[in-house]
């Protein structure tokens, strides 16, 4: 009997373990029906862009893809596949989903940005040419239209109701593999990413890869709660952190694109930064909160309303500004001409001001531009200074450095955030565009002089541009927008603490 019991014990333990595993499996969500119901309204988006090629050799690999430029140094004119001039067509892939049965489709703006032709492939394998109704780069949303009727659509959910830990699933075309399904949970909500101050991103651990851009993120009810947009990665592929645009934000943008073809947001004309614990104490706050005005456009709405550098914006129309990242969304939700009630802290005293928001000035968006991260760029973000700010420093011209890429040319030369660049290669820097123009003409074979002002003191430093084959240090991380092609956009981490509003 004892020997029988000894023989039975392992079997009983195994049965108990299997029972526990089966019970656990029953508790996990089943996405089968969700996929069957939703897949017909998810589409593949293929874009073609015509690139005018300058005369000179074009290097191609065995698969016909253009080789990186720096290989010219190794192979010269002997590399096979060279050509001269003409027009080259480049293709890329993304995802999208149908939001109305008469052919309106939502996707990411970076999927169709600059495309000469956009083709949509439906679940039934029909291919339709799409018109770009409008795109909003600040939220990375684009609205397309195809000529078709009675198309399947997806139900919209409420992204504001999402909670951390909730199950979600994605359908898209990673690397061109149509209607691939992945699942995971919501890891965090209300995330702010670099250069995306207008989107409170949903962070998930759903496997997302190039080609997933613009595809829907579902809750367990099968409702769309987000649009997959970016990943955080050190390798270029999925590493367990992905980001989606909340569907409430996306639908608001889509409605405006459908009506006006664009999104016109309110603008204050201020540059803000976070309030740290030490800054909060120095300003007399009980805790770190609000948005500190670091600078402002002397001709902008904020200056006209009486705001000053050093003011801390505590609330907008009664809604508290917990962090500086909240302010761009609050102001951006208004329309030009609207009046906002701003609660501020100035000289330790609380005050209330009325500010009439204006239009974003020009296409360069508040005159703030990130320098290109390619081989010609310095790797900095700068802003123009107003006459009053320049006069305070006894300067006639200059642009202020807001952010420095730690792997860029500027960092190697010793440029830091807060520096005011006055003269580069003996050319005065009067605007962001003048900086771009001078940088574009800098020689790569010798250093050039750069005059700047740091902490009120002028100094010169030497700056040398990189050659074609040189690169920054490895191992740094990027936020990748997930268009599947060879020109995937990348934004360096960490994010800038300075935002334009």
Known catalytic residues?
110, 140, 213
Question: CB of 257 within 8 A of CB of 133?
Answer: yes
Q: Three-class SS string for 371-388?
A: CCCCCCCCCEEEEECCHH
Report the alpha-carbon distance of residue 284 to residue 433 in Å, rounded: 40
Report the alpha-carbon distance of residue 129 to residue 501 in Å, rounded: 37
Phi-psi region of 494 (alpha: psi -120 to 50; beta: other; left: phi over 0): beta
Q: What is the dihedral of CA 112, 247, 327, 494, to 10 degrees?
A: -60
Burial of 489 (0-12, 13-18, 19+ CB in 10 A): middle
Residue found under tokens 């002089």: 449
Concatenated DSSP letters of 214-225: T-EEE-TTS-EE
Report the alpha-carbon distance of residue 156 to residue 141 in Å, rounded: 16
Angle at 244 between CA 238 and CA 246, to 5 degrees: 170
Report the alpha-carbon distance of residue 228 to residue 250 in Å, rounded: 11
Phi, then psi, of 158 in degrees rounded to 5: -120, 100
Residue found under tokens 């009630």: 341
Question: CB of 194 within 8 A of CB of 490?
Answer: no
Structure tokens at 110: 């970076």
Report the alpha-carbon distance of residue 357 to residue 351 in Å, rounded: 18
What 316-320 contacts at long range (C-beta under 8 Å, 24+ apart), as own/partner pairs, is 316/340, 316/341, 316/342, 316/343, 317/341, 318/343, 320/289
Concatenated DSSP letters of 487-498: T--EEESSPPS-
Phi, then psi, of 360 in degrees rounded to 5: -65, 130
Report the alpha-carbon distance of residue 241 to residue 122 in Å, rounded: 28
Report the alpha-carbon distance of residue 62 to residue 42 in Å, rounded: 33
Structure tokens at 286: 């009980």
């Amino acid at each position: 009997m004892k020997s029988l019991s000894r023989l039975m014990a392992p079997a009983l333990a195994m049965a108990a373990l299997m029972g526990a595993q089966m019970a656990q499996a029953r508790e996990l969500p089943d996405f089968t029906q969700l996929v069957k119901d939703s897949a017909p309204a998810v589409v593949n988006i293929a874009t073609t862009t015509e690139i005018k090629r300058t005369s000179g050799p074009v290097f191609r690999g065995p698969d016909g893809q253009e080789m990186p430029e720096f290989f010219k140094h190794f192979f010269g004119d002997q590399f096979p596949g060279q050509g001269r001039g003409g027009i080259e067509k480049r293709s890329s892939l993304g995802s999208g989903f149908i939001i109305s049965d008469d052919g309106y489709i939502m996707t990411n703006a970076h999927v169709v940005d600059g495309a000469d032709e956009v083709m949509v492939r439906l679940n039934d394998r029909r291919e339709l040419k799409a018109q770009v109704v409008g795109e909003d780069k600040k939220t990375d949303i684009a609205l397309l239209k195809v000529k078709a009727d009675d198309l399947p659509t997806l139900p919209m959910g409420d992204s504001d109701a999402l909670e951390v830990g909730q199950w979600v699933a994605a359908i898209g075309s990673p690397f061109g593999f149509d209607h691939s399904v992945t699942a995971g949970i919501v890891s965090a909500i209300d995330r702010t990413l670099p250069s995306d101050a207008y989107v409170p991103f949903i962070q998930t651990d759903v496997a997302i890869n190039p080609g997933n851009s613009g595809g829907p993120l579902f809750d367990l009810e099968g409702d769309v709660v987000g649009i997959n947009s970016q990943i955080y990665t050190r390798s270029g592929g999925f590493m367990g952190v992905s980001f989606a645009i909340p569907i409430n934000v996306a639908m608001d943008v889509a409605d405006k694109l459908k009506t006006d073809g664009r999104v016109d947001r309110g603008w204050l004309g201020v540059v803000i930064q976070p309030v740290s614990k030490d800054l909060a104490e120095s300003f007399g706050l009980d805790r770190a909160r609000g948005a500190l005005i670091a600078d402002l456009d002397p001709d902008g709405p904020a200056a006209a309303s009486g705001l000053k550098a050093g003011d801390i914006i505590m609330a907008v129309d009664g809604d508290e500004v917990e962090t500086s990242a909240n302010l761009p969304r609050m102001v951006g939700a208004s329309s030009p001409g609207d009046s906002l009630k701003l609660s501020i802290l100035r000289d330790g005293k609380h005050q209330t001001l009325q500010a009439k928001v204006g239009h974003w000035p020009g296409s360069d968006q508040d005159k703030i531009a990130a320098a290109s991260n390619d081989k010609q760029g310095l790797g900095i973000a700068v802003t123009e200074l107003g006459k009053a700010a320049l006069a305070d420093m006894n300067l006639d011209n200059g642009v202020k450095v807001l952010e420095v890429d730690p792997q860029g040319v500027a960092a190697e030369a010793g440029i830091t955030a807060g520096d005011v660049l006055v003269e580069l290669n003996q050319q005065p820097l009067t605007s962001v565009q003048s900086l771009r123009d001078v940088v574009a003409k800098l020689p790569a074979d010798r250093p050039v002089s750069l005059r700047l002002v740091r902490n009120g003191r002028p100094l010169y430093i030497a700056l040398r541009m990189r050659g074609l084959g040189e690169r920054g240090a490895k191992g740094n991380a990027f936020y990748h927008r997930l268009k599947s092609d060879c020109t995937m956009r990348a934004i360096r981490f960490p994010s800038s603490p300075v935002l334009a509003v």
